Amino acid sequence: MAATTTTGAGAKPVIAVPFYSMYGHIATLAEEVIAGIEAAGGIAKPYFIAETLPAEVLEKMHAGASLKPKYPLLEPAHLTEVDGFIFGIPTRYGRAPAQVSAFFDKTGGLWASQALNGKYAATFTSTASQHGGQELTHLTTMPFFVHHGCIYVPIGYKEPYLSDNGEVHGASPWGVSTVANGDGSRVPTEGEKRVARFQGEHFTKIVAQAVRGRQ
């Protein structure tokens, strides 16, 4: 049974926002997603996906934001306590990075019991370039949700910014994304952050319908 804060008509959807962010781009989008969840009346539970690289390697990569997580580290059991989850996943060659895959590999017990079956899921991502695999990362993450029996929630084209070709931007009908540049110098734009807030709101409204239906 998915978690809600109360019983009866006033129950609010509880939504986890687990994310991994080496340079801070995904973290910026995550804060906007969280704001969108809360604006739509949901309860956001942010988690950081644990780092797997040693500090000396991250220093050579000029990274390290992941070594000082702002939120608790995600454990598989946390996903059983919520109604849905929006994963923030940066792209590595068109798929989730090893840190995220390592977490997914820890969920075998949840798969065996189908503890996540029927829960709602979504993703947001980032790439170094416009064609660095944003939509592919959404797509290649879906098998995780499918095997767990989760219901994937895209955003479609309800947010007008997705159809704006006047500037370089991330975001697609799959979910929000950003373009970071190869050296990480580009930060999420106001438009991308707006789509992130929209995704949080849209997801929360969908999940809220299910919560009300169970009541």
Contact call for residues 175 and 142 (beta carbons, < 8 A): no
- Could you tell me the fold of the domain covering 14-214? Rossmann fold (3.40.50)
Is the pLDDT score of 127 beyond 70? Answer: yes
Residue 196 is encoded by which pair of tokens? Answer: 């992130």
Nearest to residue 150, comparing CAs of 24, 2, 26, 25? 2
Q: Give pLDDT, residue 3.
A: 53
pLDDT tens-digit series, residues 154-182: 999 999 988 888 888 888 999 999 998 88
117-131 average pLDDT score: 94
- What's the rounded Cα separation, in Å, for the pair 44 and 82? 9
Residues 164 and 199: their CA atoms lie apart, in Å, by 17
User: What's the token pair of residue 71?
Assistant: 């939120």
Percent of the chain's residues with pLDDT above 90? 73
Match 């592919």 to its residue by tokens: 136
CA distance 101 to 198: 27
Q: Please tell me the distance from the alpha carbon of residue 182 to that of residue 164, in angstroms, as a whole number.
A: 23
How far is the C-alpha of 39 from the C-alpha of 114, rounded, in Å?
Answer: 31
How far is residue 61's CA from residue 57's CA, in Å, rounded to a whole number?
Answer: 6
Give the H/E segment covering residue 178: strand 177-179
Three-state DSSP class for residue 156: coil
Stronger pLDDT, 82 or 129, i.e. the higher one: 82
pLDDT greater than 60 at residue 6: no
pLDDT in the model for residue 10: 65
Domain layout of the chain by residue ranges:
14-214
Query: Could you tell me the pLDDT band of residue 28, with boundaries at 50, 70 and 90?
Result: very high
When pLDDT is averaged across residues 82-91 and rounded to a whole number, the result is: 97
DSSP state of 49: P
Calpha distance 113→94 (Å, rounded): 30
